[in-house]
Amino acid sequence: MRVESGLLYTQNHEWLKVEGDKAYIGITDYAQEHLGDIVFVELPEVDAEFDAEDSIAVVESVKAVSSVYTPVGCTIVEVNEELESSPELLNEDCYTNWIAVVEITDKSGLDELMNAEEYEAFCAEQE
């Protein structure tokens, strides 16, 4: 399982790359591995507003339906439309292929996120 340094991680297996007030959100290698072949991604609308812990997107594999949650309050700035026609990109490289770019409107959730080392240990416990 691959964990990238420099990213922040949630217990739901999302990753965040924070750049100032903005953040890229995606799913981790652990998530894509457990989902298996991903066949559908439902993206949010640009400008949609979400509270922390809200579901912003849905990722479906052959066998499972899984929500993608934002750990921070945010407004959607951009979505990765390529995933609509090629959802398998999340299997191929889940760290390059982010799901959405958001503007963070409530930073408080950031404190609870894990760094790469902590997340790796967290995943090891899940197995």
Is the alpha carbon torsion for 41, 93, 31, 7 positive or negative?
Answer: negative
Q: What are the two backbone dihedrals, phi and then psi, of residue 31, each rounded to the nearest 5 degrees?
A: -65, -50
Closest CA to 102 of 126, 124, 70: 70
CB of 29 to another protein, least distance (A): 15
Query: Helix, strand, or coil here: 17?
Result: strand
CB of 61 to another protein, least distance (A): 8
Taking the C-alpha atoms of residue 20 and residue 88, their distance in angstroms, rounded to an integer, is 29
Closer CB to another protein, 78 or 92, in the complex: 92
CB of 113 to another protein, least distance (A): 26
The DSSP element (H or E) to which 124 belongs, if any, is: helix 116-126
Binding residues (CB under 8 A) for another protein: these are: 36-37, 39-40, 42, 58, 60, 62-63, 65, 84
Closer CB to another protein, 23 or 32, in the complex: 32
CB of 89 to another protein, least distance (A): 14
Closer CB to another protein, 24 or 80, in the complex: 80
Closer CB to another protein, 37 or 117, in the complex: 37
